[in-house]
Homo-oligomer: A and B are copies of this chain.
Amino acid sequence: MIDRDAHQHRPLCVLGSTGSIGVSTLDVARHLSIPVHTLTAHTRLEALAEQARVHGVQRVVCARGEDVGRLRGLLADQPHIEVCGGAAALCEAAGDEHCPTVVTAIVGGAGLEPTLAAVRSGKRVAIANKEPLVMAGELITAEAMHYGATLLPVDSEHSAIFQCLEHHRQSDISQLLLTASGGPFRTIHNLSQVTVEQALNHPNWSMGAKITIDSATLMNKALEVIEAHHLFAIDVSRIEVVVHPQSIIHSLVAFADGSLMAQLGAPDMRTPIQYALTWPYHRSGPVACPDLLAIARLDFETPDHKRFPALELGRHCAQLGGIAPVIFNAANEVAVERFLAQDIRFVDITHGIAEAVDALSSAKYGHSLEDILAADAEARSWLTGWQPR
């Protein structure tokens, strides 16, 4: 029987609910009457408490165990809400059987273990947190298969590809074409002096700081290529990046018969979030269709690999395989933090990552979660100590 409102019977666990994706997820949940069971956050405890109150949740989890007391105080008027904290509590929440859908909106590699916990509970996992797939794509996809979890992409590009593909899995795919806005520096030729403020000023998308910097370096697109490789089981050599400054076409699939399927939408993350929650149905929601007549024009350009070496570096790491993508991701996370703290220049972000990959990617690590976490820690420590030339 077809139940197009089944999403209303799938309570959500939102990992990272106070970030940009988390806030958008809760907006969609409100519009579509999706119950919210669990919310988690890292630092913004006041915002977390307020969300918990508004959405009538059953449980809140703070990432740091030491914050539990403070969070409990903020929710003293809501004694029925369970308050817990720490890494184990995060994983427990992600695996809780009361939440058939988990939205992973944690920033960076910190989302790896909670994502695995959700996958190992056989849930619908709406993946907004790409770094775990970059670090441990084989492990996550194998566990999803084993435990019967459904990985639903939230990244707008991957949601586009997912929508283009779903009927066509038996078809001959020739390429995936990921679109990229080109970021704030698409038309700026000398990147050596750009500021944090300039880098945080994305032309189309309103997002968190980490992914906005990743968009400016095109690291985000490099991570997405690796993410798409894992989500859609396609070799990175068949994943191309096309700069599309308007961010209206979110990605395309090219088939062997000369057809391209594309998904378009406003640059508003609520659309792909909603589809991950209502899949396989498109239902009425908070975002309107873009008006092609008002937009009038869509452009396409080749990425400039000279100014944005991250893209080729990511492809190189994906082809190296093993722990190279782990190093790539961990070095980026630390480099972005250092850039945001004005400790290194914008162009040093990719320099540092490239050097970290050179220095560490041949190190002996296996494929287990422990090995991945150890390589991740080593790369973080290495990049923390790295000095630009």
Binding site for B on A (CB under 8 A): 2, 4, 163-164, 166-168, 170-175, 177, 242, 249, 252, 254-266, 268, 270-271, 274-275, 278, 280-285, 287-290, 292-293, 295-302
Asked whether B285 lies within 8 Å of A257 as measured between CB atoms, the reply is: yes
Asked whether A252 lies within 8 Å of B264 as measured between CB atoms, the reply is: yes
A-B contact pairs, 22 of them (CB 8 A): A167-B167, A172-B282, A173-B282, A242-B293, A256-B283, A256-B284, A257-B275, A257-B282, A257-B283, A257-B285, A258-B287, A258-B289, A259-B271, A260-B265, A292-B300, A293-B300, A295-B300, A296-B299, A296-B300, A297-B297, A298-B298, A298-B300
**Complex interface: chain B residues within 8 A of A263 (CB):** 259-262
Asked whether A288 lies within 8 Å of B242 as measured between CB atoms, the reply is: no
Asked whether B283 lies within 8 Å of A163 as measured between CB atoms, the reply is: no
- 9 closest cross-chain pairs (CB), A and B: A258-B287, A171-B282, A255-B282, A167-B167, A256-B284, A260-B264, A292-B300, A262-B262, A298-B298
Quick one: closest B residue to A290, CB to CB?
B260
**Complex interface: chain B residues within 8 A of A275 (CB):** 257, 259
Question: How far is B249's CA from A259's CA once the two chains are assembled, in angstroms?
Answer: 10
Quick one: closest B residue to A260, CB to CB?
B264
If A172-B282, A297-B298 touch, whether A265 touches B271 (CB-CB below 8 Å) is no
Quick one: closest B residue to A274, CB to CB?
B257
If A166-B167, A295-B300, A299-B296 touch, whether A260 touches B280 (CB-CB below 8 Å) is no
The oligomer's copy count stands at: 2
If A295-B300, A298-B298 touch, whether A164 touches B256 (CB-CB below 8 Å) is no
**Complex interface: chain B residues within 8 A of A170 (CB):** 2, 4, 280-281
If A174-B289, A242-B292, A292-B242 touch, whether A163 touches B259 (CB-CB below 8 Å) is yes
Question: How far is B262's CA from A265's CA once the two chains are assembled, in angstroms?
Answer: 11
Quick one: closest B residue to A177, CB to CB?
B292
**Complex interface: chain B residues within 8 A of A278 (CB):** 257
**What is the distance, in angstroms, from A258's C-beta to the closest C-beta of chain B?**
4
Asked whether B262 lies within 8 Å of A261 as measured between CB atoms, the reply is: yes
**Apart from A4-B170, A258-B288, A297-B297: 8 A-B pairs, beta carbons within 8 A:** A168-B282, A170-B281, A242-B293, A252-B264, A257-B282, A258-B270, A258-B289, A293-B301
**Complex interface: chain B residues within 8 A of A264 (CB):** 252, 259-262
**What is the distance, in angstroms, from A238's C-beta to the closest C-beta of chain B?**
12
Question: How far is B249's CA from A297's CA once the two chains are assembled, in angstroms?
Answer: 12
**Complex interface: chain B residues within 8 A of A266 (CB):** 258
Question: How far is B168's CA from A4's CA once the two chains are assembled, in angstroms?
Answer: 11
If A296-B299, A297-B299 touch, whether A271 touches B289 (CB-CB below 8 Å) is no
**Complex interface: chain B residues within 8 A of A259 (CB):** 163, 263-265, 271, 275, 282, 289
Residue from the list B280, B290, B297 in contact with A167, Cβ < 8 A: B280
Listed residue (A261, A292, A299) with the most chain B CB atoms within 10 angstroms of its CB: A292
Question: How far is B301's CA from A297's CA once the two chains are assembled, in angstroms?
Answer: 9
**Complex interface: chain B residues within 8 A of A4 (CB):** 170
**What is the distance, in angstroms, from A179's C-beta to the closest C-beta of chain B?**
9
**What is the distance, in angstroms, from A25's C-beta to the closest C-beta of chain B?**
14
Asked whether B289 lies within 8 Å of A172 as measured between CB atoms, the reply is: no
**Complex interface: chain B residues within 8 A of A255 (CB):** 282, 289
**Complex interface: chain B residues within 8 A of A298 (CB):** 297-300
Quick one: closest B residue to A258, CB to CB?
B287
Question: How far is B221's CA from A348's CA once the two chains are assembled, in angstroms?
Answer: 54
Question: How far is B170's CA from A121's CA once the two chains are assembled, in angstroms?
Answer: 28
